[in-house]
Amino acid sequence: MSIRLGDIAPDFKAETTQGPISFHEWLGDSWGMLFSHPADFTPVCTTELGKTALLKGEFEKKGVKVIAVSVDDLASHNKWVPDIEEVNGVKMNFPIIADSEKVVAGLYDMIHPNASEKATVRSVFIIGPDKKVKLTLTYPASTGRNFQELLRVIDSLQLTAEYSVATPADWKDGDDAIVVPSISTADAILKFPKGVKEVKPYLRYTPQPNK
């Protein structure tokens, strides 16, 4: 099953390194980031999970819960965790889903047979408080993710969910945003009291509204 933007993120029950969960219940009213790993005891995954643990406080500031999934069993995960902690100098502080039956991998279309018949791709799903999928990213198994970019896109998703703006190329938190085309310039001037700069009739900038 292919997951598209705006779809309700599939719910599931699973065992994790922090106990059993029901996914939607675990998310509650928070944003969430679900990200997959091809297998335990693999080098790229070990660095990614450590980086996520190091950045967990940054995700929490944005109201985002993080959870990983790997198609190995819970015993394997628990044996792997000490390696992650040792290599990255961090304590694992978020759950890893055990998915030996590939239930979650199937629900979220994480196995791409033309890339690998067995291993999952490196998929990322950002999920909103409404349980809808807001962003998907898919990397090959060989390429580690840029977690600063994931934090950046979360900033953009949360900003644009609350205000009638979009974010331009290379935008980062604190930069000017773009007024969406559906709002006239006259209305934008009223809506955004910090100011509106018109570059083209269809390209108007305003200081980030929530700063």
**Concatenated DSSP letters of 59-110:** HHHTTEEEEEEESS-HHHHHHHHHHHHHHHT----S-EEE-TT-HHHHHTT-
Decide: 33 and 25 in contact? Cβ < 8 Å. no
Q: Which one of 45, 92, 124, 150 is the catalytic residue?
A: 45
Separation in Å, CA 40 to CA 124, 129, 156: 17, 29, 31
Residue whose C-alpha is closest to residue 165's, from 175, 177, 154, 153 = 177
Q: Please tell me the predicted confidence (pLDDT) of residue 112.
A: 60
Q: Across all residues in the chain, what is the average pLDDT?
A: 93
- Give the domains, in start order, of the chain with CATH numbers: 13-145 (3.40.30.10), 163-206 (3.30.1020.10)
127: alpha, beta or left? (left if phi > 0; alpha if psi -120 to 50)? beta
**What is the spatial distance between Cα 142 and Cα 139, in angstroms, rounded to a whole number?**
8
Residue 162 annotated as catalytic: no
Q: Please tell me the predicted confidence (pLDDT) of residue 43.
A: 93
Q: Note the pLDDT tens digit of each residue in 38-54.
A: 889 999 999 999 999 99
- pTM of the full predicted structure? 0.92
